[in-house]
Amino acid sequence: KTHKDAHSLNPLWLQTSKLILFFFSFASVFSKNGKGGIFEQTDGPVSLVSAEELAFKFAVNNINRNRTLLPNTTLTYDIQRINIYDSFEASRKACDQLSLGVVAIFGPSHSSSSNAVQSICNALEVPHIQVRWKHHPMDNRDSFYANLYPDYSSLSYAILDLVQYLKWKTATVVYDDSTGLIRLQELIMAPSRYNIRLKIRQLPLDTEDTRPLLKEMKRGREFRIIFDCSHHMAAQILKQNVFVFGGRFMSYIKESHWDGLTGRLSFNKTTGLRTDFDLDIVSLKEDGLEKVGKWSASGGLNITEVPKRKGINITDSLANRSLVITTILEEPYVMLKKSDRALVGNDRFEGFCIDLLKELAGLLGFTYEIRLVPDGKYGSQDDKGQWNGMIRELIEHRADLAVAPLTITYTREKFIDFSKPFMSMGISILYRKPNSTNSGFFSFLNPMTPDIWVYILLAYLGVSCVLFVIARFSPYEWYDAHPCNPGSDVVENNFTLLNSFWFGVGSLMQQGSELMPKALSTRIIGGIWWFFTLIIISSYTANLAAFLTVERMDTPVDSADDIAKQTKIEYGVIKDGATMSFFKKSRVSTFEKMWAFMSSRPRTSLVKSIEDGIQRVLKSDYALITESTTIDYITRRNCNLTQVGGIIDSKGYGIGTPIGSPYRDKITIAILSILEDGRLHMLKEKWWSGSSCLDEERRETGPMGIQNLGGLFIVLASGLVLSVFVAMAEFIYKLRKTAEREQVYIPTDHFEYVPNSICPLFLKLIKSENDIKLIGLEFEFILPPTIAEKLATMTILSQKLLNSL
């Protein structure tokens, strides 16, 4: 409670003594030891001395008695009394004291009188000691004063800190004049910076009857009140609450006696003091205060040594206590146990959180009763600020602990307390696995994109053409065609256009060719081309196995950004869960867009439970956004589901307690204990293992089948067929050219006459009978047997005829 007229004698005389001692210590240098005091006299039939005057006199007398403070100096003072609210008289009394040569003036305490004295002290530069509340002037014109009253801004901060420590969310400020609003300025501005709702009420100025105001506050259930008024008004307010049967009840208490926790209780009927009691003797130890003895009026003092305990026992506040646990069904955290017989009580449940609760109970020594939350919700806040789910159970103290996958959030932390997180997780996307796609017949082309294949072909053509031009241009690529004939001037070049293309193909296929460049320029081209083909073939070989053996899994979305940019796939969260609160309060543009989509269709986007969400993902084109640990558990057991994208947010699961619960710190220490010794990890492995799905990242590479390499055989067969047609085209082309040169007619309508027509042509090409036999043998693979035999026979006869001639 703050007030303007703080009449507390002991603190006031102590402060006054110190200030007077300082002034007179300084004034003794100038041989002045007088001090003036101006005080208001109290109205009434008998004038009473004010508390300020008593403190002033006591301080001066105390300094004079203690000769060690101001040796060889005796303090004197002049006291003037004035009527309250009489500023003119206060000015006149101040002038009278200054004419006596006082070194400082103490008082008065009322604002109008004090301001009048202050103006005179400022003009004459005489120190003025004030004991009243004073508002700081903006121009700092009052410089010659020292105020024993605390700074109003500091008092306002102190009250604000106390309100925050008590965790008040609502409060009522009651003041009697406008200065109260200035003194509590920081507190009044608190709602804009803190989550505090304030009501401002002013006491009636025309009457001292505050009962109507108190009744109005009672109807509004305003029980946290901050008063800023005078001590007189505060006393009047507190007197309003008078108990009608107080006197009779007090007499009954004084006449009663009984045994309580502290021993025998009996009271003196006159004074009301306790006459028969026991006292515990406590001592401050390492673990806190401990009882070391006892005193009683009849038995006196009895000291008992208590052996010092080693270490800290975390079971002190929870041992042998029975706690109510609220939870919610969700695999694998809390599940109903499957059994062929009816189960009751805590035996009905199993899961990760149930095992965690057993570990905590065994470590802390408490018993518990598990209750499912009635509405089946985790807990969220509606538009009116009301909570549901497990959070409401804790706020209304219907449960002591909430042991479940309860996410620690900023909003929840303001209404309940959380232990340290027992599991860390994030938010991710659950979606069904897409249908796998086989590599295809021409999958051996997949290691490189079509653009790269086109660029390789263009590079091959360009290098071959440049090699042909450079080889023709360089003189070192030409050589003597007849080295044994010195007079011959015929030179040849191996790198014809076709040979240049063949050189590029041989290098690209890592097979080489019989052609080797001789000039430096052509060797540079060949070396660069070999380096290029080395990198291309190595890259192709490295990626070929993956593209041929692994079935690619193409998902329509890969991240939260992808799912936010489309509307074909519907997505949502669990209703009234932490994930929904995250999207609802997020200021990230992507998440705001996703929440706008979900909130526009709550019936289809929001699901009641994780089971409903899984069924929707399996049966429709729907993606569920939930905690990553839950997704990990689901995907291990349902091979048709997978996690899409990475972690969106990072949070943790904690055990919830009501605000101010003494159990939170003990629960936190126990969680850290089982976390460090590995038991918490063992529990997670127990409930998350047992997957029936193949881990695709560790799956062995399967053998390649015709569906992978079928295209390669097609390319091979196509090359063979193409070579046959090219060979036939070359044969026909060569025959036509020779026929034109030898002027031999080749009929095309009857193939039977072809041998008779082309026999003279072969005579130009053969030189021996062996050549004739080879030609006949070659034709046996090309032409029908009868035609081949006729051709060979006619060729031999023609040769014999020529020899005879």
In terms of pTM, does the model score above 0.75?
A: no
| 350 labeled part of a ligand binding site | no
CB 438 within 8 A of CB 422: no
pLDDT at 473 over 90: no
Ramachandran angles phi, psi of 370, nearest 5°? -90, 130
The pLDDT tens digits for 26-58 are 444 444 456 677 777 765 544 566 777 888 888
Domain identity same for 399 and 460: no
Q: Is 371 helix (H, G, I), strand (E, B) or coil?
A: strand
Shared domain check, 580 and 665: no
Is residue 628 in a domain? yes
Domain assignment present for 704:
no
Among 508, 532, 549, the domain boundary falls at: 549
- Whether 409 has a pLDDT exceeding 80, the answer reads yes
Q: Which of 351-355, 479-483, 584-588, 728-732 bottoms out in mean pLDDT, i.e. has the lowest?
A: 479-483
State whether 646 and 658 are in the same domain.
no
With respect to residue 35, please indicate whether it lies within any of the assigned structural domains.
yes
Q: Is the pLDDT of residue 751 over 50?
A: no
Q: How many domains does the chain have?
A: 7
579 is in an annotated binding site: yes
Is residue 798 included in any domain, yes or no? yes
Q: Which of 260, 162, 174 is nearest to 220 (CA)?
A: 174
pLDDT digits 0-9 by tens, 444-459: 777 888 888 888 888 8
14 shares its domain with 141: yes
393 plus 493 within the same structural domain: no
Do the annotations mark residue 222 as ligand-binding?
A: no
| Predicted pLDDT at 73 | 78
What is the band of 370 on the pLDDT scale with cuts at 50, 70, 90? very high
Of the ranges 271-285, 462-476, 497-511, 761-775, which one carries the lowest mean pLDDT score? 761-775
The verdict on 141 and 20 lying in the same domain is yes
- Domain range for 259 is 249-303
Q: Is 172 in the same domain as 142?
A: no
Give the 3-state secondary structure of 681-710. HHHHHHHHCCCCCCCCCCCCCCCCCHHHHH
702 lies in a domain? no
627 annotated as ligand-binding: yes
Among residues 515, 549, 583, which one ends one of the domains? 549
What pLDDT does residue 259 have? 78
Cβ-Cβ contacts under 8 Å for 695 (sequence gap 6 or more): none
Query: Is residue 209 one of the residues assigned to a domain?
Result: yes
Mean per-residue pLDDT, 466-486 = 77
Contact 798, 744 (CB under 8 A): no
pLDDT digits (tens, 9 = 90+) for 635-646: 888 888 888 888
Residues 178-205 as b or e (16 or more Cβ within 10 Å = b) = ebbebbbebbbebeeeeebebeeeebee
Comparing C-alpha atoms, which of 657, 18, 80 is closest to residue 399?
A: 657
Query: Measuring CA to CA, which residue among 205, 233, 196, 201 is closest to residue 218?
Result: 201
Mean pLDDT of 73-88: 81
Q: Are residues 20 and 70 in the same domain?
A: yes
Confidence of residue 318 (pLDDT cuts 50, 70, 90): confident
Beta strands in 145-299 (DSSP E): 145-147, 170-175, 197-202, 225-228, 258-260, 263-265, 278-285, 288-296
On whether both 134 and 220 belong to a single domain, the answer is no
Q: Is 65 annotated as a binding residue?
A: no
Kindly tell me if the per-residue pLDDT of 541 is higher than 60. Answer: yes
Is residue 512's pLDDT more than 70? yes
Say what the pLDDT of residue 774 is: 43
Distance CA 724, CA 30 (A): 131
Shared-domain flag, residues 21 and 92: yes
**Placement of tokens 């017989």 in the chain:** 341
- Determine which of 71-75, 243-247, 317-321, 614-618 has the lowest per-residue pLDDT on average: 243-247
CATH of the domain at 461: 1.10.287.70
Q: Is the pLDDT of residue 357 over 90?
A: yes
State residue 795's pLDDT score.
57
Chain-wide mean pLDDT for the chain?
A: 76
Q: Check pLDDT > 50 for residue 654.
A: yes
Residue 437 lies in a domain: no
Residues 141 and 157 in one domain: no
Residue where one domain finishes, among candidates 108, 124, 147: 147
Written as six digits, the tokens of 333 are: 């955290």
Taking alpha carbons only, the member of 243, 263, 265 closest to residue 255 is 265
What's the confidence (pLDDT) of residue 341? 84
CATH of the domain at 179: 3.40.50.2300
| CATH number, residue 580 | 3.40.190.10
Question: Residue 645 CB: number of other CB atoms within 10 A?
Answer: 17
Shared domain for 17 and 142, answered yes or no, is: yes
Q: Is residue 88 part of a domain?
A: yes
Q: What are phi and psi of 570, to 5 degrees?
A: -80, 145
